[in-house]
């Protein structure tokens, strides 16, 4: 978990410094789609806050958007058609476009189509990387069998 | 609802906090803590920004270098094409000039001249005109008013020319000098020499005299220049004199010759 947080912090700095991509948001949304962690909301809030601070947006602005987007992911995830992994591509693509539009509307940030396309291209590689990470390096919960009396 | 959002309270709380932060930030209540944190984050961000810029410049350089290499390649091809085009134009200009010179020497009203490119030299000269251009065996090949040879064989597209220097070549000629004229038979020798033979002793031939065709071979016009006398062989006890003749033009220096279609 600590490695994941450190990685996200580093990516946040890089993203705010020179990388015109939305990697942090994609990673957070993909992780929310894959796992059911109890700290998901805190992650989204914290990294939204960090990115707001580093990018010069009003504090809490990105947290607010990210929380709403994650809520959408959680809703879609519960539906029947979200069982297949491929749904992650249209879902997160739509949310990234929505995020760009919200940033544009709320903070007057420019809408860069090229970086949005790059974001969409990166969704699947990030999905498989996070899934690999979660399956191999994050210990699963211990299975406890209930033995009847 | 609880099933979809197990932490609905936390979600609402965090949304509320976010909105509160936006409000406080817009009222500049968070400026001081922001400045405090920026003293730590700003140098990191600056370092990353500079590093990113340097990295970007390196990538840009690679892209530019690749583009420059492609442009260089394209320009080299273009240069090659231009050089070829220039060479072709020069060749065409030279041929046109030769054609004009030729028509100045032998009037096209009198002679039906067909320009032909030389495509090979050896014992025989090979030209790029043949039967389809109405080239026939025995026709005379000239350059300006100089005799080059006679058509030896003709295929549909190419023809071979029997040169003046060929051992099989025999042409009736006369030499014309200041002291008089001499008749003889011009025959090729092995090599590049041509020998004018059967010159009577009483006829005058001197070094430097020009040798002309007699025009007795039928298709060979009279008065074509065959060469220049460079040596005279004269012996008392022999009936005929001989003279060594040098052709005016070296065939290998020519690009175009003309066939007289009679």
A23, A86, A96, A97, B214 from A117: Cα distances, Å: 12, 17, 10, 9, 89
- Do B15 and B90 reside in the same domain of the chain? yes
> For chain B, what is the domain count?
3
| Domain residue ranges in chain A | 2-135
Q: B198-238: per-residue pLDDT in tens? A: 888 888 888 888 999 988 877 788 888 999 999 988 887 77
Q: A27-65: per-residue pLDDT in tens? A: 999 998 888 777 888 999 999 999 998 888 888 899 999
The pLDDT assigned to A124 comes to: 93
Please judge whether B21 and A71 are an interchain contact, meaning their C-beta atoms are less than 8 angstroms apart: no
Q: What is the mean pLDDT of residues A96-122?
A: 86
Q: B72-92: per-residue pLDDT in tens? A: 999 999 999 999 999 999 988
- Do B43 and B87 reside in the same domain of the chain? yes
Range of the domain at B190: 170-246
Q: B124-168: per-residue pLDDT in tens? A: 889 998 888 888 888 999 988 889 999 999 888 899 999 888 888
- Do B100 and B129 reside in the same domain of the chain? no
DSSP annotation string for B2-58: TTT-TTHHHHHHHHHHHHHHHHHHHTTTTHHHHHHHHHHHHHHHHHHHHHHHHHHHH
Closest-CA distance of chain A to residue B88, Å? 49
For residue B137, the domain's CATH number is 2.40.10.340
CB contact, 8 Å: B48 with chain A?
A: yes
Q: B36-63: per-residue pLDDT in tens? A: 888 888 888 888 888 888 888 888 899 9
Give B261's pLDDT tier (boundaries 50, 70, 90): confident
- Do B118 and B207 reside in the same domain of the chain? no
Calpha distance A96→A91 (Å, rounded): 9
Query: B62 is written with which tokens?
Result: 């690679």
A105, B185, B186, B189, B209 from B169: Cα distances, Å: 98, 10, 8, 9, 21
* Total residues belonging to chain B: 262
Q: Is the ipTM of this complex over 0.90?
A: no
- Do B82 and B155 reside in the same domain of the chain? no
Please judge whether A59 and B15 are an interchain contact, meaning their C-beta atoms are less than 8 angstroms apart: no
**Among chain B residues, CA nearest to A60:** B18
A44, A65, A71, A84 from A50: Cα distances, Å: 10, 13, 19, 32
- Do B135 and B213 reside in the same domain of the chain? no
- Among the listed residues A95, A135, A122, the one whose alpha carbon sits nearest the alpha carbon of residue A20: A122
pTM as predicted = 0.53
- Do B5 and B28 reside in the same domain of the chain? yes
- Do B68 and B123 reside in the same domain of the chain? no
- Do B82 and B182 reside in the same domain of the chain? no
Q: B159-188: per-residue pLDDT in tens? A: 999 988 888 888 999 998 887 888 999 998
**Among chain B residues, CA nearest to A68:** B15
For residue B219, the domain's CATH number is 2.40.10.350
Closest-CA distance of chain A to residue B63, Å? 18
């Amino acid at each position: 978990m600590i490695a994941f947080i450190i990685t996200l912090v580093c990516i946040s700095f890089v993203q705010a410094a020179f990388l015109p991509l939305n990697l942090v948001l994609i990673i957070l949304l993909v992780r929310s789609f894959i796992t059911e962690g109890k700290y998901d909301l805190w992650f989204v809030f914290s990294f939204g806050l960090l990115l707001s601070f580093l990018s010069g947006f009003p504090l809490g602005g990105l947290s607010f958007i990210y929380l709403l987007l994650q809520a959408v992911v959680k809703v879609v995830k519960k539906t029947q058609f979200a069982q297949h992994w491929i749904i992650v591509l249209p879902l997160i693509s739509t949310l990234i476009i929505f995020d760009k539009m919200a940033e544009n509307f709320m903070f007057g940030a420019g809408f860069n189509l090229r970086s949005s396309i790059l974001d969409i291209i990166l969704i699947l590689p990030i999905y498989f990387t996070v899934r690999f990470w979660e399956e191999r390096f994050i210990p699963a919960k211990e299975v406890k069998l209930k033995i009847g009396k | 609802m609880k099933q979809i959002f197990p932490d609905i309270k936390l979600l609402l709380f965090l949304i509320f906090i976010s909105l509160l932060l936006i409000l406080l930030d817009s009222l500049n209540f968070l400026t001081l803590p922001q400045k405090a944190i920026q003293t730590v984050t700003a140098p990191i961000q600056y370092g990353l920004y500079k590093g990113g810029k340097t990295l970007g410049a390196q990538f840009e350089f690679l892209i530019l270098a690749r583009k420059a290499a492609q442009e260089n390649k394209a320009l080299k091809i273009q240069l090659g094409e231009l050089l070829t085009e220039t060479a072709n134009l020069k060749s065409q200009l030279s041929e046109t000039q030769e054609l004009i010179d030729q028509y100045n020497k032998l009037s096209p009203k009198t002679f039906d001249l067909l320009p032909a490119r030389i495509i090979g030299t050896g014992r025989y000269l090979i030209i790029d005109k043949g039967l389809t251009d109405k080239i026939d065996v025995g026709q005379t090949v000239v350059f300006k008013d100089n005799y080059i040879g006679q058509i030896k064989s003709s295929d549909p597209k190419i023809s071979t020319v029997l040169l003046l220097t060929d051992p099989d070549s025999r042409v009736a000629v006369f030499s014309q000098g200041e002291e008089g004229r001499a008749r003889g038979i011009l025959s090729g020798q092995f090599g590049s020499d041509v020998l004018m033979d059967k010159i009577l002793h009483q006829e005058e031939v001197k070094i430097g005299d020009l040798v002309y065709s007699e025009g007795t071979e039928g298709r060979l016009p009279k008065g074509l220049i065959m060469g220049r006398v460079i040596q005279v062989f004269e012996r008392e006890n022999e009936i005929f004199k001989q003279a060594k003749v040098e052709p005016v033009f070296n065939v290998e220096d020519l690009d175009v010759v003309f066939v007289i279609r009679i």
